[in-house]
A and B are shown apart, each in its own frame.
Chain A
Amino acid sequence: MSAQQLNIAAPRSGDIDPKYLRQSASSSSNREMFKWLFMRISGPILLVLIFVHLFSNLMVGDGVHGLNFGLVAGKWASPLWQIWDLTMLWLAMIHGTIGVGTIIDDYTSKDRTRVGFKVALYLASVAIIVLGTLVIFTFEPCMTDAAGNLMDNSPSFCFNQ
Chain B
Amino acid sequence: MFEVTETLQLEGVGYRWPGRASFELRVPNLTLARSETVLLLGESGSGKSTLLSLICGTIIAGSGRVCVAGTDIAALSAGQRDRFRAEQIGLIFQQFNLLPFASVQDNILLPLRFAPERRNRLDDPKQETARLCHDLGLPVGVMSAKAGALSVGQQQRVAAARALIGMPPLIIADEPTSSLDAATQATFLKLLFAQSRAHGTTLLMVSHDARLSSQFDRVIHMTDIAQTTRGTA
State yes or no: do A and B come from one complex: no
**Residues of A bordering B, CB below 8 Å:** none
**Residues of B bordering A, CB below 8 Å:** none
